[in-house]
Structure 1
């Protein structure tokens, strides 16, 4: 694609809702980029904590910032879609308002996009945890490689199962490609995954950048996202595997090895569902058993059991209660993992990052 004269190279989009404590760092990390040819759309999504005042101060100081005001908070998909209608750039980059990025992110990714005429550029990222009084980072990195469509489809599984492709913020998206294929965020509980899978359905040129740039906070001091129960978690995992299988069917790739790797991945997510269900303090033990039974009886659980390669011995062991269809054993497994996490949190996070994303701890 040839960039038009007055078109910014990159449109950075950031929805903001009540992140006053962190949004300044997020904005500054974009303004500190070594690459300057970008516009920065910030959506104040009905914030009530003073985030809007922070945004306004930055907008007054830098003309690249455009602020969109929503009078009330809307789904993040709706906020992003509104921005997609307004962006003027060649490529789209997304950032969450409580994260931050390294200063060479846009320059490195845009350079790679132009070299390969890529429609979809993917970089590594950091998962940040607050553990035992200090911050710990784990790097998740793809191979450094450019793909044409056929080769990408043959290799996509290695990135899908490490959660590199389905998160929204470690990427550059070709805006003309999004508009040509009418791709938008869905108003669902899994909008990030669906957005990326809709792109992957027919994408022709993909570039992978092995360096991590994006710092994604999984937990901060005084918080832990894994302890926040999500009543839609199991439904999200079902939708995740269903859409992924739909894409692979469209690609004509349904061999036993690929299906086995997807089954392993889904089984790992089911173990996560069990753990969060048991850890939930907002529902009774009876309700926990009911939720566990739903996980056990789900048809995609059967898909995982039937096709799993059991490549990860840790997941294979933790999933034994699911395979046995025993909600009591599922409960005990979830309780045991929660106790292990409470007493050996550093080991837990290292194991979790390594198993789930193939991540390496950053010293």
Structure 2
């Protein structure tokens, strides 16, 4: 790799991102990082609003911002794979356009990765926020093991930095239909087969908890998650004891929304109490 190439490539997919209430703050949280040796690749996934125009204005002001454009809406996995193909960094970081990163996020993650060469995936803990501000902190497992995939994804997708070589070895994001809305979960389980994954305990990422997201989650995506879990758990040697966790998404999808919201509120309260 040439010495003039950035150490880090940040990749983001954007579709009608101007509808996201924190779109501009999200972009600026990356451009204002204390670690500056990066390129920021954003692929507009066929937006029908003025997302592309906004991105071009930012790119005119900061040469680190590279804009790609899909002719039509392709979805997250193909969009991120296109970003990966364009990326030149030794490390590849994710970031979502409705969230924002702490100003020292990259500095702390890159420092850790440099001193832990066996680590191929590094995420962080997060703050959950909504339109009323920060509501809770979620601490992710520090050293990820196969069993950490049982209940939930042990990484928050937007927080992770990959070692480029490991991400390419995994083949990037799957574009199979059964992986839609679960592309990250599938990728992380495939990478678990041959690499070390960790999370920093410090929350360095602010995750927007969209109250409408639960209503938008269609049952077919829960079926997709079940298929991803079954295949991933089988490859990780966790079956058959992991079967109850395979069907978890199907069961959760049958719980009335008001009750699920109550369960999540109680879980959040426990997290807040634990993290005091």
Q: State whether TM-score is above 0.5.
A: yes
- Relative to structure 1, is the Cα distance of residues 182 and 227 closer, same or farther in structure 2, using a 3 angstrom cutoff? closer
Preserved contact between residue 22 and residue 97 of structure 1 (Cα < 8 Å): yes
Partner of 2:214 in structure 1?
A: 226
**Separation (CA, whole Å) in 1 of partners of 2:203 and 2:163:** 20
RMSD (Å) for aligned C-alpha atoms = 2.6
Partner of 1:273 in structure 2?
A: 253
Partner of 2:162 in structure 1?
A: 173
- Relative to structure 1, is the Cα distance of residues 138 and 236 closer, same or farther in structure 2, using a 3 angstrom cutoff? farther
Matched, 1:98 2:98: yes
**Separation (CA, whole Å) in 1 of partners of 2:200 and 2:94:** 16
Deviations 1:126-181 (A, max 9, x none): 33345xxx234322223545xxxxxx6xx34236534223x422211111122234
Alignment equivalent of 2:207, drawn from 216, 232, 241: 216
SS in 1 for 2:199: strand
**Separation (CA, whole Å) in 1 of partners of 2:263 and 2:30:** 32
Which has the larger Rg? Answer: 1
- Relative to structure 1, is the Cα distance of residues 86 and 217 closer, same or farther in structure 2, using a 3 angstrom cutoff? same
Partner of 2:266 in structure 1?
A: 351
- Relative to structure 1, is the Cα distance of residues 242 and 162 closer, same or farther in structure 2, using a 3 angstrom cutoff? closer
SS in 1 for 2:13: strand
**Separation (CA, whole Å) in 2 of partners of 1:33 and 1:266:** 39
**Equivalent residue runs for 1:138-153 within 5 Å:** 138-144=136-142
Query: For structure 1, which runs of at least 5 residues remain unmatched after alignment?
Result: 146-151, 276-333
SS in 2 for 1:119: strand
Query: For structure 2, which runs of at least 5 residues remain unmatched after alignment?
Result: none
Matched, 1:240 2:228: yes
- Which range moved further: 207-216 or 35-44? 207-216
**Separation (CA, whole Å) in 1 of partners of 2:149 and 2:138:** 10
Larger RCO: 1 or 2 (CA < 8 Å, sep 6+): 2
SS in 1 for 2:16: coil
Question: How far is 1:47 from its partner?
Answer: 1.3
Preserved contact between residue 126 and residue 206 of structure 2 (Cα < 8 Å): yes
Partner of 1:86 in structure 2?
A: 86
SS in 2 for 1:46: coil
SS in 1 for 2:158: coil
**Which structure has the highest helix share of the two?**
1
Question: How far is 1:266 from its partner?
Answer: 4.5
Question: How far is 1:348 from its partner?
Answer: 4.6
Preserved contact between residue 129 and residue 135 of structure 2 (Cα < 8 Å): yes
**Separation (CA, whole Å) in 2 of partners of 1:176 and 1:241:** 25
Give the number of equivalent residue pairs.
269
Partner of 1:201 in structure 2?
A: 193
Give the TM-score taking structure 2 as reference length: 0.86
Give the TM-score taking structure 1 as reference length: 0.67
Alignment equivalent of 1:158, drawn from 138, 141, 148: 148
Question: How far is 1:230 from its partner?
Answer: 0.5
